[in-house]
Structure 1
Amino acid sequence: MIPRTPDNLRRLWSPVWVGFVGILLAGIFALLDSSVFGLELRTLDLRFQLRGPLSLEHSPVVIVQVDNRTYKDLDARWPFSRAWHARLLRNLRAAGARTVIFDIMFTESASEDPEGDLELAAALAEADDTILSGEMITESARGGTRYTRVDPPLPILLAGGTDWGLVDDIKDRDRINRRYNLYQPKDELLPTIGTRLIMKLEGVDHLSEPEGKELVIGSCRIPLSRDLKNIMRINYYGPTGSFPTYRFSSILDDADFDLADPDMDTDYMEMMKNPELFAAFFGDDAVNPFKDKLVLVGVSADDLHDNKMTPWYGYGDSAHEMPGVETHAHAIQTMLDRSFITRSSANQDRLLVALAGLAGGLAILWLGPLPSLLVLLVLAAAWAFTCLKAFTGFNHWLPLLAPLVALAGAWTAGVLQQFLRARRERQEVRAIFSRYVSRAVVNEVLKDPSKIALGGQEREITALFSDIAGFTTISESLTPTALQELLNEYLSEMTDRVFENQGILDKYIGDAIVAEFGAPLPSESHALQAVSTAVAMQERLEELRAGWAERGFPPVRARVGINTGVMAVGNFGSREIYDYTAIGDNMNLAARLEGANKFYGSWIMTSEATWKQLGGAFVGRALDVIRVKGKEEGVAVYEIITAVGSARAPEALARVEAWDRARALMLARNYAAAEAAFAAVLERWPDDAPSRVMRARCTDWVLSPPPADWDGVTAFEEK
């Protein structure tokens, strides 16, 4: 231990030291209220995940949601007829639901379905325990003034005395939903739907102004955020799917409603509405999942964009966003259980920071570098443990980062600034370069860092899309481990072919591969590189299939679509999160061509724009002129068979010549002769799938030829 000499005391109280500690503490105080506070929020998220999910076994909350599968079950897209919402409400009430809360907006009339509005209004009039949602809209007036407008549900829906509450989406700066708006202060306090539900349960008709730092609703005293008096923090009980969740279509499924999929049409709600039928099917001890429940109805389908980031995002092996309706469920459960997250006051936080900073300063002064480092580590671990226990045991949020930074600040101040600066620069460089998967991209960025600016450049490139044929069947035939082994090996081998031809791996989409050629490094032969990659992929796949067969894997074939054209290439995304990619109509066409292969039995399909740039380097043939989904003009497409000079080239050339003769007859509308010519091709090359397709087409046209004004374009409505 360093002795307490006058010199040491002078060092402790010297103006330089006092100034340093003052600056340090001032910076830490600012940390509490600055944008860096987001780091502290992340530690709060970590505390949720370290605590683990809480039991909801006895929760009265149930969720009904419109998910992606609902569309298929109903053979319909959003918005649904409000008559369906009426049916859903009646079925839930018949099944014994205590209260139904709609996290769905009915603020505008359904102009195409006025009967649906009337039907829903009638159903609401029959149900005295329903809560509808109103919308809060922030708008800007002249001069930049911002104000909040409230859109209540349609008057016709409220005519029977139905209650309603607001819906407000509150995100922290990192786009994570941690807080819940309890009410909107207008002429009177307008509750949100969760608050409205608690009011109903507590028998309270009107909200009163908060009492100090609490909003009192009957016996429920809700601690408020220390900076906003109408906000509480949600105590999330677990990740996505914590509450019992049922599909919207299942609640419609009764004896009078048929689902589009006969296999799913089980008249599920008939069992829920009939206690005897329920007991017969589920057993006497089974509990009706809707009886006496608080049922929240909302959406989770991808196209409705109501999924949120929460503190549980990334928990375990998954990274799922939470449906907005489920965030309401967690807020409601927080209020039902009175399991509120409390937080120390700002002055208490400052005192903790001051004590931690003082401890760090004294440690370095009195113990020396190495002993004080050990003491600081022990103190830091003890404080982290205290913060975790305060949260898991008492739902109390103690500041973690600020005291730890203050504790370490006095010891590391001299070197920390340099270390953080160097580390930050390394992280920035690593973050930029790690987004790219090719050394070519890195070299391009090093030559011109402006290439990483948002947006990008327009240039002519060639895009390649590859996808495994029948992947669903393959995946169903393998165990997850075997599928992972097969897919990883496949993607690695195919990606190597991309890199060998100076391509850029854009992304993997499941088993699909997206690549570009001619960007970011310009290339005059990008079309040639892309087609060379496709041929190399097919050749390597042929080799791999033999080895995979010996290991018990099913045969894997891949279709490839290639298109050349002007596309926007560069970084696309937000300022913090973005990807190097290409976008545009020509990019989409490449994807469509990949899918069009299946209609001809081909494996590599290119557009005419790509074919014209190959310079006779490949054996191929004009397949057809097609109009893909989303395009108005026809596109001439070609099949690539092999490279000129390969062992297969002579036979491939002979097949192409026979094909061209047959196709010429077809284009001349001599369908009988064309049918015979394609039959001759198949007699010599029985596996030539495109000839089989064209022969069948000619057979049909002999009996029923296309109209005289037909433009010769084959239209596809499928992707």
Structure 2
Amino acid sequence: MVFRLPGLVRRVAVRAGVAKVRAVALRLPGLVRRVAGRAGVAKARAVALRLPGLVTRLAEAPRALAGLAIIGIFLLHPLTDFGKSTFTLLPKLEGLAYDARLKLTLPNTGDPQVVIIDIDEASLQRMGRWPWSRDKVAKLTTQLFERYGVRAVGFDILFAEPDLSSGIAVLDNLREGELKTNPAFAAALARLRPRLDFDARFADAIRGRPVVLANAFPVEAETQGVLPPPLFAEADIAGKLIRIDPEHGFVSALPALTEAAAGSGHVDPFYDPDNQVRRVPMVKRYGAGYFPALSLAVVQTVVEAKRVTPHFDSERTLDALDVGGLAVPVDEYGMALIPFRGKSKTFRFVPAADVLDGSLPQNAFPGAIALIGTSAKGLKDLRPTPLDPDFAGVEIHANLIAGMLNGELKSIPARANAIEALVMIPAGLLALFALPYRRPLLNALGVVTFAAIVIGLNFVLWIRWSYVIPVSTTLLMLAVLFAWNMLAGFLREGAAIRKLSTMFGEYVPPERVAQMRESGERFSMEGDSRELTVLFCDVRDFTALSEKLAPRELSAMLNAYLTTMTELIHEHRHGTIDKYVGDSIMAFWGAPEPNPEHARGAVEAALAMQARMPKLARDFVRRGWPAFRIGIGVNTGTMSIGDMGSKFRKAYTVLGDAVNLASRLEALTKEYGVGIIVGENTARTMPDYAWREIDRVRVVGKATPVTIYEPMGPAASSQVAAELASHRRALASYRERDFEVAEAGFAELAAAHPSTALYAYFRTRCALYRSSPPPSAWEGAMVFATK
């Protein structure tokens, strides 16, 4: 039944009454089809009464068709990539569902393995405002190891700037300036330097000890400090899939500190669409390397793991990190769910001032992991979480460290989407065929029962196997099915509005249809003649490319390509899709809604389509599909437009010589080695653009040569302007039959711009004309005798 949903959705959207019964009958055995087609609804129902109850309900209750459509629509969510959350309703609801499960299963106890050394408000009052000098931080570190017996220390603090609080920089300036000739001063400064170089004192305090420092990867493409060696590199995971976007910059500790520390990890939070922190990226990618989170680096140091190895599932997708035999479950984006043990300060918090002044009992934290961070609001390291809007970032690391060491991290299985779909299908079908035939009270009771079963099953997976399976989509689907059965009558309102949507919905984007509804009488599919701009786009060598792919792969690739291109056409001044012919796209601007900037919209869309192709090609290669190039032809002129076709099938389309010329121009892109060719009428309407004149051509069906251009953008740099000027001079010599000068000009351009195939093309043509000159009546136009 699931595989029939698309057809059912279409029928529900556009038909009523008898048509619905016949649409259903098409899915039934041949006997029912013949009865429905020959004798109408009555006989169809009579036959249906002899079939199983499911068929009877489909024939008698058109609401079931819409119910199937609802199930199909909701199934789209789990059957797409789990992906990073977006600001939509379902991810937010799923966050709330996750929070409910989390709160119901909290242990509400800390873990003695981890203690938090808190630079709190009281410590700041006693020891001075932040930042503290590094000699004080060095003393804090030494105290933790030598007096209190900690096992390891992790800093949730960045040490990216040198500490100049001792005044050593001022003394160095004096030594190099006013007191340069004073040997006594230089000698005294040399004796004092070890005591005044606080960064060196901090480095000495952490050297040889299990101390992990912090780093971060800000959005700015700047680097500060030095990163430790990566956990693993791109070369180590060749052929495997990790969906982690590369970072562009980093902030890390000073080189001397990084070299002295046992490790370093990032402290960047990750915010879900509702601005809550539930997950942490356990690895981040910079350059060719992958770098750990602070919690992961601390665990690696504690268990003395020499390596952290990524683990991949049967589909070669990241699903865990192996830390010295300790499995850390992550998703394909390297994210780990935070195993919260309770609300804020569930872990033991100890004021940093108490550690510094030695007021705590000796060996107060034997064998513990000490995390040094802050809960002070002024230091801005509080994060919004499902448990507390001001949750100390350092305690997030504590929860992760304890969870990794205890094996308590929840995981999202690679097939979570399939599991959710397997729950949704029977739940939806049961609700669909039970709800329409019960009273409202029983309907509500049925929905609650189904929801309770779904929630119970989900909790079993959560508690027994630590699996996080999405549940909000299923629950919302049940609620929508209930609402649909209670409010089905209201869905038939607005027939006139739907008519306009039916007329133009498949040609223009939905938001444009919505605007057109406000003045629907202005728009018609009647035949008309007006100036428009048309665009043809075609995939280069598509036949050879299609032979490399299985039919399903080819279909998926084409759908992804056509969807991207269509979105760009819609985005740029509301282009209208005329048709898809295999891999080809035909679109036009200026109808059904008048648009005086129709030429500009088409050119802007063409440039955007070509600009998007490199990114699309990289995505295709990652998915195992071949990369390809496209050619685009654009032309402006008077065209006939309207609803054209036969009584069996019609389409809103454009016809005319200007349309045919645009198709010919697209075909010439391969000949000239350019991505876009624009007709002279189009270029003439956009004098503010920079254009490279390509040639004068006479194509099939045109007796008069036309000049064709390549758009270079709305403005040309001085280098591009100079290039275009050289091209114009060479082209002028070519048309004046001075082929030797023209060839030299094009050769110079080809050498300077080897990626521009057009120059090499004309250099070859000039060489040919030097040996075999064109006839005396030659007009400087190239004749193309084939389409």
Q: TM-score, normalised by structure 2?
A: 0.44
Considering only CA atoms, is the larger Rg found in Structure 1 or Structure 2? 2
Q: TM-score, normalised by structure 1?
A: 0.49
